[in-house]
Amino acid sequence: MTPLGKLRLGVNIDHVATLRNARGGAYPDPLRAARLAQAAGADGITAHLREDRRHISDADIEGLIETLEVPLNLEMAATDEMQAIALRHRPHAVCIVPEKREERTTEGGLEVAREENRLAHFIAPLREAGCRVSIFVAADRPQIDAAHRIGAQVIELHTGAYCDAHAEARLADRDAELDQLREMAGRAHALGLEVHAGHGLTYDTVQPVAAFPEVMELNIGHFLIGEAVFRGLEDAIQEMRRLMDAARVQAGEPVQ
């Protein structure tokens, strides 16, 4: 297929805020992490404002909007409160995710097909406000087709099942998940959707996904923040960037 251009890396800084909130103070500062990530070559910053504010706060979002030079991708649930916040700040992108209070992290993709009408009405004002609307979905054809029908411009494919299978050495499952992700990236692209991917990606799992020519952006957080403890945030990000570029080159795609 025609080359689609450089694969972007969005760095998710939620877990810097998780660490800060563990002590209830101001340190470590997620905005400082965002500035460092920018300096290290991140193409965007991703932050999830959860309803329970367990990591990123409203003030963090305000600070990011005021100071970031790269685009902000605001992850949020499809609630009235979050819609109002997004409309007030108008971030470059809004990624709609499912959210359950009891979960440790975003566990699955959004059930778009089940809530098509509501979601179509929910995202319309966000689009009109100039936000690129992304829907976080499992690699599942009915969900992708529904995301297209409701007028989303982007889908983000949930890579969690692939990464879990890799971590647990369930290699046949891992390869099946990867095949499904590849097929659904192609399906979404054929529908005219921009394709992103993320969740659970590490140095060990990023390359096969980075090699899909349709994928334009990867959003990676938890692993990078963990790795930063050992090698520093800039170095951790630069290594991820290097692996992504290498996978792209090997797949015959341009890196610039």
Q: Which residues are designated catalytic?
A: 48, 75, 199
Least distance in angstroms from the C-beta of 156 to ligand PXP: 5
Give the separation between CA 25 and CA 102, rounded to whole angstroms.
24
Least distance in angstroms from the C-beta of 92 to ligand PXP: 15
Closer to ligand PXP by Cβ: residue 113 or 137: 137
Largest CA distance in the chain: 50
Distances in whole angstroms, Cα of residue 246 to Cα of each of 31, 43, 44, 93, 212: 29, 17, 20, 27, 13
211 φψ region: left (φ > 0), alpha (ψ -120 to 50), beta (else): alpha
Least distance in angstroms from the C-beta of 147 to ligand PXP: 13
Please give the angle made by the CA atoms of 48, 58 and 158, to the nearest 5 degrees.
Answer: 5
Closer to ligand PXP by Cβ: residue 209 or 211: 209
Binding site for ligand PXP (CB under 6 A): 12, 14, 48, 75, 95, 97, 105-106, 136, 156, 198-201, 219-223
Give the separation between CA 182 and CA 107, rounded to whole angstroms.
20
Closer to ligand PXP by Cβ: residue 203 or 249: 203
107 φψ region: left (φ > 0), alpha (ψ -120 to 50), beta (else): alpha
Question: H-helix or E-strand containing 18?
Answer: helix 14-23
Least distance in angstroms from the C-beta of 223 to ligand PXP: 6
Closer to ligand PXP by Cβ: residue 64 or 252: 64
